[in-house]
Structure 1
Amino acid sequence: MAAQEKMQQVLDWAVAEVGIPGIVVEARDGDRTWFGTAGVADVKTGGRRRPGEYVHTGSSGKTFTAAAILALEAEGKLSLDDTVNKWLPGVLDVNGYDGNKITIRHLLSNTSGLFSTGLAPELAQRYATRAEFVKHRGDEVTTEDLLKLAVSQPPVAEPGERFEYSNGGFYIAGAIIEKVTGNSYAEEVERRVIRPLGLTNTFVRPSQDAGYPDPHPRAYSNLFYKDGTDVAAVTAENWESMIEEPGLAPLDVTEFNTSWSWSAGNVVSTTGDMIRFVNAMASGNLLPSAQHREMWTTVSTPDYWMPHARYGLGIIEFDKEAMGGRTLRGLGGSFWGHFFFAAGTLDGKHAFAMHANTEWKSWDVAFRLMEAEFGFTIGV
């Protein structure tokens, strides 16, 4: 069976069995290109999904942040081993953190010891239930707000001790980019990543924006806690048990101010542009060799975060043995109304990108697409 046919079967399964309203995949293998879709872009009109849609890429934006930092290092403007206090004195010296011990490398590898920012009660309370989401969906937050949020809970580990996925580390990295350059985070990502790679349909979403350019799909979410959930009791291990029961109609969350994502993942793009981006990151077509090696110096991750994966600097490398003996590299992200994932080979010639207009439901979607496109069965 051809890869395209296998991919289409996965898309159809994702809509029929996983509960995704609409999903798209774009794949490139040398000169071969393919675009597939299943489901709808709009559940009210029944409009189909189509090529060239602008979508939110979620935490894929972390890779843009890491690439911008590494480009600055290549120019001698900073070092990954610089402490946070060198650039942002005192920002981390609260609530048990030590800005003289946490480095930029720690921030980008999620080994800083910062707690999982997405579980902060201040953030969870704002979007925890459907009613609260509707009330706060237009809220705009500032960089100062985000830096405070990053240290609003005590450390979960010593710097370098272990992996803990934390948006807060990337907020701090974004602020360091601005301090070092004197320019905005968005300007530096545009200058050092987007423009050099010719990503003409990619941008860091302005903090005041809550919509998307056309064409774009509607976004739908069931990512809400049950009524009465104590958000302070939610952890990285138990959050799934707190989610509202299945069967409720999804909420249309298309218009949503995502300024709280900022340098932790607020990039809007297309599947075509993101294939070019993941290929460049996987193969080293953007960064000098020294910085490319640093990006791909990886740490282990817990299975509850993502199975078969190690984490570099803002990016993922999959276990070679589990991936049929080949090295695959990727990026992705999920939040209200969006699930984005892309993966490619080391030579930068074979990759795919997918987007679902609802949040992550299961890693099976991404893994089945990898199996179909790259022609292997994932090992246990």
Structure 2
Amino acid sequence: MKKFFFLLTTLLISFCSIAQEHQLNSYLNKLYSADKIMASVSVAKNGKINFEKAYGTLSYKTKEAQQVNEYTKYRVGSVTKMFTAVLVMQLVEEGKLSLETKLSKFYKDIPNSNKISIRQMLNHHSGISDFTKRGDYLVTRFDETTRSEMLARLSQSTPAFKPGEKAEYSNSNFVLLGYIIEDLTGMDYPLAVQRKITERIGLNDTYYGMDATPERNEATSFSLSTDGWKKLPETHLSIPGAAGGMVSTASDLAIFIHALFSGQLMSDASLEQMIKLEDGFGLGIFQYQTANEILYGHSGGIDGFGSILLYHPKTRTSVAVCANGVNTNLKDVGYNFFKITQGLGFEMPELNQVKIAKDKLVLYTGQFYSPELGKFLNIDHIDQTLMARLDGQSAFPLNPKKETQFTYDLYEVQIDYDELDGNFYNKVTLTQGTNVVVFERQ
């Protein structure tokens, strides 16, 4: 496969041994060699950057590949939600808002707004349906969308469940929280982030994004095909807003999360509320566990971008990965970085990929239906890459792990084929987290 990326390594190791430094480099080089990632990675201790590495393709100018460096900015997707949650908690501390304030105080046309609290929006218990699951999202996501247009869409949506009944991730919560921040601060969301977060802690390369511009050292995103990394179209960031519109560097993110946990952005009491879990959700933050250690942070994905931000309070260690080409599980990459720096028994993974012959791809393609979801899963192939698309969602590539098992690591999706009958597999099982759905060929 054609290689067109590899640029910069900057190592400032102060808390890692020479052996750990070697492991960090060996691990990333192995990911690079196997076409698993294009990214910037940063590790910090006590808010000081100790490891930086950046490699990959920034964009193309004519036919020449422009390459990344440690100052390259990436869309960080849902890591934006941590910035939004910080702004909300600051407003609570200022007495301008309460976690029990009802959404109806601001936007009464949202279904169930008189029963939905700010807390329930922060921890995804509101029942407001996720706008990214709308049938028209694939068409509308590239177009600039005004606040009034987005509010109209959200007002017309059907609730996913009753407020407080359960937890279910929804980007809509944080789009609305962004509007509330604007209402209470008198600033637009980008300016609020700047004044209340980035200027306060000295982040020079973190801001609300626009169209990616290589001249500003902003990355575009790519998806892996049989012919190499192919550029993807961009979602207009007016749509995800305060749920996913930020851009940043890995180093800025590592500094940001340390600032959050060291009292630079809110009180300890507010942080305790933020990290308290309900049904696995904090207030704009998640808890992770690896090697029996507890970490906090958030992941993100938008277009071909992926990100993971982790913090270990016990050792005050930050790990941040910002990618514009992902063909692996970024959460595992973050975990492995953490384990290496802490000497927690890291084992170099096997990255050999199964190859499916082009004339065999027809076995896997077709239309499959789930009565449970009431939706179709369409699987086709472009060149030698299988592409899957669930009704109302974007198509995504499937990477073969075994002859009958494929994954999309960016969103931790696994697809297993069963019941080979002559020329086709007749059953597909889709697994994502704890959700398992069976689809039958139509």
**Fold equivalence (TM over 0.5):** yes
Please tell me the residue identity of whatever aligns with 1:4. E
- Opposite residue 167 of structure 1, the aligned amino acid is N
- What SS is found at the alignment partner of 2:177? helix
Give the match for residue 131 of structure 1. Answer: none
Q: C-alpha separation between the residues in 2 aligned to 1:146 and 1:251? A: 30
Question: Which of residues 308, 321, 346 in structure 2 aligns to 1:341?
Answer: 308
SS at match of 1:327: strand
Q: 3-state SS of the aligned residue for 1:114? A: coil
* Separation (CA, whole Å) in 2 of partners of 1:8 and 1:48: 19
Max radius of gyration: which structure? 2
Matched residue type, 2:244:
G
1:42: how far off? 4.7
Counterpart-to-counterpart distance in 2, 1:213 and 1:329? 34
Residue 187 of structure 1 and its aligned partner are, at CA, apart by 2.0
TM-score, structure 1 as length reference = 0.77
Matches within 5 A, 1:1-380: 2-17=19-34, 19-20=36-37, 22-30=38-46, 33-42=50-59, 45=64, 47-88=66-107, 90-93=108-111, 98-126=112-140, 137=142, 139-205=143-209, 209-211=211-213, 214-221=216-223, 247=226, 250-253=229-232, 257-300=236-279, 310-319=280-289, 323-346=290-313, 349-359=316-326, 361-362=328-329, 363-376=331-344
Is the partner of 1:115 in helix, strand or coil? Answer: coil
Range that drifts further, 191-200 or 2-11: 2-11
Residue 358 of structure 1, CA deviation? 2.3
Amino acid at match of 1:66: A
Give unmatched runs, 5+ long, in structure 1. Answer: 128-136, 223-245, 301-309
Identical aligned pairs, as a percentage?
26
SS of residue matched to 2:217: coil
- The alpha carbon displacement at 1:170 in A equals 0.6
Structure 2 SS opposite 1:311 = coil
Q: Is the CA contact (8 Å cut-off) linking 1:120 and 1:152 kept in structure 2? A: no
What is the identity, as a one-letter code, of the residue corresponding to 1:311?
Answer: F
Q: Cα offset for 1:220? A: 0.9
**Which protein is richer in strand relative to its size?**
2
Q: Report SS of the residue matched to 2:88.
A: helix
- State whether residues 210 and 256 of structure 1, in contact with CA within 8 Å, keep that contact through their aligned partners in structure 2: no
Give the AA of the match of 1:111: H
Distance 1:361 1:148 in 2: 37
Displacement, 1:326?
Answer: 2.8
**Cα distance between partner residues in 2 of 1:65 and 1:339:** 18
Find the aligned partners of 1:144 and 1:376 in 2 and give their Cα distance.
50
Amino acid at match of 1:70: M
Structure 1 residues 251, 260: CA separation in 2 closer, same or farther (over 3 Å shift)? Answer: farther
The residue aligned with 2:412 is none
Q: Deviations over 1:68-93 (max 9, x none)?
A: 011011010110110000222x2313
Structure 1 pair 38–152 and aligned structure 2 pair: CA distance change class (3 A): same
**Structure 1 counterpart of 2:116, one-letter code:** I
Q: 1:40 to 1:212 in 2, by over 3 A?
A: closer
Instruction: Tell me the CA shift for residue 361 of structure 1.
Output: 4.1
Instruction: Tell me how far apart the structure 2 counterparts of residues 214 and 365 of structure 1 sit (CA, whole Å).
Output: 27
Q: Secondary structure at the match of 2:237?
A: coil
1:116 Cα offset (Å): 2.9
Answer 1 or 2: higher relative contact order, Cα 8 Å, separation at least 6.
Answer: 1
Q: What is the CA–CA distance in structure 2 between the aligned matches of 1:318 and 1:371, rounded to whole Å?
A: 13
How much has 1:359 moved relative to structure 2?
A: 4.9
Give distance in 2, aligned partners of 1:162 and 1:377. Answer: 37
Letter in 2 for 1:26: S
- Distance (whole Å) between structure 1 residues aligned to residue 293 and residue 104 of structure 2: 40
Q: Which runs of 4+ in 1 moved over 4 A?
A: none
Residue type of the partner of 1:192?
Answer: K
The separation in 2 between residues aligned to 1:2 and 1:335, in whole angstroms, is: 35
Partner of 1:230: none
Aligned 8 A contact 2:310 2:318 in 1: yes
Q: TM-score scaled to structure 2, two decimals?
A: 0.67
Name the aligned partner's letter for residue 252 of structure 1.
K
Within 1, Cα distance between the matches of 2:226 and 2:256?
36
* Structure with greater proportional helix content: 1
Distance 2:270 2:153 in 1: 29
